[in-house]
């Protein structure tokens, strides 16, 4: 699931949902992830100026991409084996007119599924007929495990519904409170023309005034506005109307059987879909045109983006993800970005087989760690490189946490998941300004943004060092990442200071310049 809900940090509204959507950007934010405080991408290109590059295809499994975006011109993959618009599967790959990828969330007549249920709501719906009115003492031993799952998802859904109903009621108060804030601040500061610096200097003593100060600062920065409130209210309503609605038909426009992995003839070639904000931003991070003074620069300068729409507003279906991975591999992708995830996965073996297929073909998979500030060593975020039935991890799979531009104790983004064995490395995922539909730009937060940073780095390295295998490139990225082991940082979502080295396998943040230098040294040693 992709989350696009602003995190209101003040305690009065404490919504606790991560991934901010903010429209404004300043000079400190623009392209920071390419600079010294980010991944040193700009510096890396100086070291590569005497080398030529080859084109690398990166598959973006996401909500869709605005393929006509001004900053993605010339960056969209085209299936040259397919003749556009003739209604024929020219390349015999099972997908008719798949010119720029495929939409696994649509129907042949062009309809698109935008909203879906959370996986736990789908699981509850499947199991309720069997367990809804059953006395726990009468559950057969053979059904005990399944019954425990039913109880767990049932309790979670009830808790979530109550929580979001309460949040919805609070949201209705926000517009009125928003109008009151300037007057309250003016009264306390003794002036009506106060500035953001005035707000930063203000040290209110009561809890209520501290909340007012937080709101005023959020309003001044653009984090809180009527537009933002409306967007968040829409997401909360979607949570109640669709995500947690156990009876909602989330395959209405698709028409397939999501439990039958042999039923593959579905979808359409609309690779943008009804809401491509998330996927366009992710694709832009990988490959937006560099140096054109439009929005933020992409990480890789010679890539083609393959759009695979499989991530809805809600939880993605295992089947769609498995088929999208296989499509990417079969159509020449060398890197797959996966900025999505969920807490339940009923078809783990089928997804694993698709991941294993990509791994066997030398394709690097890069996955967002998730935005619930939880330890994924304890609570998995699916898909994962290590399922319970596996004997060893997949080789070509990386899980990415989100870092910020604030290395002093706040290097790990407060929303980012972490894990000393399950998260490989961190990359910039906070205050990321890049492309969104209609040739526009926004600043987003999330491990969804950190993952394409690493996918972009992998594509960049493969582009300039084509003789290197993806295994070698993966190892270089991890070994050259800037280590923060031993440095005390806030554990995401808490005020607890911990060793940054305990938050991932490497305890490090990706460094493109160091990776390029290592590749150059390896290339020289082989001559």
User: How does the average pLDDT of the chain come out, rounded?
Assistant: 93
Is residue 189 one of the residues assigned to a domain? yes
Q: Verify whether residue 278 is a known catalytic residue.
A: yes
Q: Which residues contact 303 (CB under 8 A, 6 or more apart)?
A: 55, 56, 57, 58, 75, 286, 287, 456, 459, 463
In this predicted structure, the answer to whether residue 96 has a pLDDT above a threshold of 90 is yes
**What pLDDT score was predicted for residue 232?**
84
**What pLDDT score was predicted for residue 24?**
57
Same domain, 236 and 261: no
Tokens of 499: 């060793």
Give the domain-ending residue among 215, 243, 271: 243
Instruction: Supply φ then ψ for residue 114, to 5 degrees.
Output: -100, -50
Is residue 3 one of the residues assigned to a domain? no
CB atoms within 10 A of CB 29: 17
The catalytically annotated residue of 448, 451, 463, 480 is 448
The catalytically annotated residue of 69, 100, 278, 281 is 278
Instruction: For residue 82, give the CATH number of its domain.
Output: 3.40.50.200
**What pLDDT score was predicted for residue 222?**
78
Same domain, 216 and 279: no
pLDDT tens for 75-92 read 999 999 999 999 999 999
Give the pLDDT band (50/70/90) at residue 9.
very low
Residue of 373, 372, 403, 408 whose CA lies nearest to 489: 408
Q: Verify whether residue 53 is a known catalytic residue.
A: no
Tokens of 208: 């209520």
**What pLDDT score was predicted for residue 220?**
87
**What pLDDT score was predicted for residue 16?**
38
* Average pLDDT estimate for 245-254: 96
Residue 313: C-alpha distances to residues 63, 107, 121 (Å):
8, 17, 14
In this predicted structure, the answer to whether residue 11 has a pLDDT above a threshold of 60 is no
Is residue 8 one of the residues assigned to a domain? no
Same domain, 292 and 214: no
Same domain, 518 and 385: yes
**What pLDDT score was predicted for residue 398?**
98
Tokens of 434: 């890049």
Is residue 169 one of the residues assigned to a domain? yes
Is residue 22 one of the residues assigned to a domain? no
Please tell me whether residue 80 adopts helix, strand or coil conformation.
coil
Is residue 9 one of the residues assigned to a domain? no
In this predicted structure, the answer to whether residue 129 has a pLDDT above a threshold of 70 is yes
Same domain, 143 and 287: no
Q: Give the pTM.
A: 0.93
Q: Provide the number of structural domains found in the chain.
A: 2
Give the pLDDT band (50/70/90) at residue 7.
very low
pLDDT tens for 343-402 read 999 999 999 999 999 999 999 999 999 999 999 999 999 999 999 999 999 999 999 999
Give the pLDDT band (50/70/90) at residue 2.
low
Same domain, 218 and 100: no
- The rounded distance, in Å, linking the Cα atoms of 287 and 31 is 13
Please tell me whether residue 281 adopts helix, strand or coil conformation.
helix
**What pLDDT score was predicted for residue 3?**
52
- The rounded distance, in Å, linking the Cα atoms of 522 and 489 is 33
**What pLDDT score was predicted for residue 120?**
98
Give the domain-ending residue among 243, 274, 306: 243
DSSP assignment string, 412-447: B-TT--B-TTT--EEEE-SSEEEEETTTEEEEE-SH
- The rounded distance, in Å, linking the Cα atoms of 480 and 511 is 7
Is residue 17 one of the residues assigned to a domain? no
* Average pLDDT estimate for 166-191: 91
N residues, the chain: 527
Give the domain-ending residue among 243, 275, 304: 243
Same domain, 231 and 333: no
**What pLDDT score was predicted for residue 491?**
97
Residue 381: C-alpha distances to residues 152, 228, 398, 461, 479 (Å):
17, 28, 13, 28, 24
* Average pLDDT estimate for 414-435: 97
Same domain, 237 and 263: no
In this predicted structure, the answer to whether residue 453 has a pLDDT above a threshold of 50 is yes
* Average pLDDT estimate for 21-45: 87
Same domain, 140 and 280: no
Q: Verify whether residue 241 is a known catalytic residue.
A: yes
In this predicted structure, the answer to whether residue 73 has a pLDDT above a threshold of 60 is yes
**What pLDDT score was predicted for residue 224?**
84
Same domain, 64 and 126: no
- The rounded distance, in Å, linking the Cα atoms of 396 and 418 is 19
pLDDT tens for 294-310 read 999 999 999 999 999 99
Please tell me whether residue 264 adopts helix, strand or coil conformation.
coil
pLDDT tens for 478-510 read 999 999 999 999 999 999 999 999 999 999 999
Same domain, 72 and 124: no
DSSP assignment string, 353-364: HHHHHHHHTT-E
Tokens of 337: 């970005």
Same domain, 200 and 348: no
Where residue 42 falls (left for φ over 0; alpha for ψ -120 to 50; beta otherwise) is alpha
Give the pLDDT band (50/70/90) at residue 21.
very low
Give the pLDDT band (50/70/90) at residue 114.
very high
Q: Is the peptide bond before 107 cis (omega within 30 degrees of 0)?
A: no
Domain that holds residue 378: 31-112+257-525
Is residue 12 one of the residues assigned to a domain? no
The catalytically annotated residue of 241, 259, 263, 330 is 241
Give the pLDDT band (50/70/90) at residue 284.
very high
* Number of continuous H segments (helices) and E segments (strands) in the chain: 12, 14
């Amino acid at each position: 699931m992709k989350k696009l809900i602003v995190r209101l940090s003040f305690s009065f509204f404490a919504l606790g949902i991560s991934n901010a959507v903010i429209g404004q950007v300043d000079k400190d934010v623009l392209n920071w992830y390419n600079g010294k405080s980010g991944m040193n991408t700009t510096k890396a290109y100086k070291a590569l100026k005497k080398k030529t590059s080859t084109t690398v295809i990166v598959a973006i499994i996401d909500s869709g991409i605005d393929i006509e975006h001004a900053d993605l011109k010339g960056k969209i993959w085209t299936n040259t084996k397919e003749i556009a618009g003739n209604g024929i599967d020219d390349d015999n790959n099972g997908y008719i007119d798949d010119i720029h990828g495929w939409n696994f969330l649509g129907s042949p007549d062009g309809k698109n599924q935008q909203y879906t249920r959370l996986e736990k709501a789908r699981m509850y719906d499947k199991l309720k007929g069997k367990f809804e009115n059953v006395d726990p003492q009468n559950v057969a031993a053979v059904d005990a495990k399944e019954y425990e799952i039913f109880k767990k998802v049932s309790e979670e859904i009830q808790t979530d519904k109550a929580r979001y109903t309460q949040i919805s009621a609070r949201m209705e108060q926000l517009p009125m409170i928003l109008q009151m804030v300037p007057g309250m601040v003016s009264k306390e500061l003794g002036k009506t023309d106060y500035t953001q610096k005035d707000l930063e200097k203000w040290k209110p003593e009561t809890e209520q005034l501290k909340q007012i100060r937080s709101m005023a600062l959020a309003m001044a920065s653009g984090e809180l506005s009527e537009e933002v409130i409306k967007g968040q209210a829409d997401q909360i309503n979607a949570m109640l109307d669709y995500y947690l609605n156990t009876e909602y038909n989330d395959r209405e426009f698709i028409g397939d059987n999501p439990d039958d992995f042999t039923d593959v003839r579905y979808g359409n070639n609309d690779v943008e879909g009804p809401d491509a904000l998330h996927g366009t931003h992710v694709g832009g991070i990988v490959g937006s045109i560099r140096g054109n003074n439009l929005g933020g620069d992409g990480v890789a300068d010679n890539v083609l983006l393959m759009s695979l729409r499989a991530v809805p507003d809600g939880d993605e279906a295992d089947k769609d993800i498995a088929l999208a991975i296989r499509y990417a591999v079969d159509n020449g992708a060398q890197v797959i970005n996966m900025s999505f995830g969920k807490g339940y996965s009923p078809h783990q073996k089928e997804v694993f087989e698709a991941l294993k297929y990509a791994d066997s073909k030398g394709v690097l998979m890069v996955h967002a760690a998730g935005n619930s500030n939880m330890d994924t060593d304890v609570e998995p975020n699916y898909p994962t490189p290590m399922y319970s039935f596996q004997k060893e991890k997949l080789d070509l799979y990386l899980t990415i946490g989100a870092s910020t531009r604030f290395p002093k104790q706040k290097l790990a983004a407060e929303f980012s998941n972490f894990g000393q064995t399950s998260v490989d490395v961190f990359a910039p995922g906070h205050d990321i300004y890049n492309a969104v539909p209609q040739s526009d730009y926004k600043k987003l937060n999330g491990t969804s943004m950190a993952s394409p940073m690493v996918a972009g780095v992998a594509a960049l390295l493969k582009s300039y060092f084509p003789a290197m295998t993806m295994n070698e490139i993966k190892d270089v990225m991890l070994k050259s990442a800037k280590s923060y082991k031993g440095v005390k940082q806030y554990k995401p979502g808490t005020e607890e200071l911990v060793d940054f080295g305990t938050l991932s396998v490497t305890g490090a943040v990706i460094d493109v310049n160091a990776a390029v230098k290592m590749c150059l040294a390896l290339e020289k040693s082989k001559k």
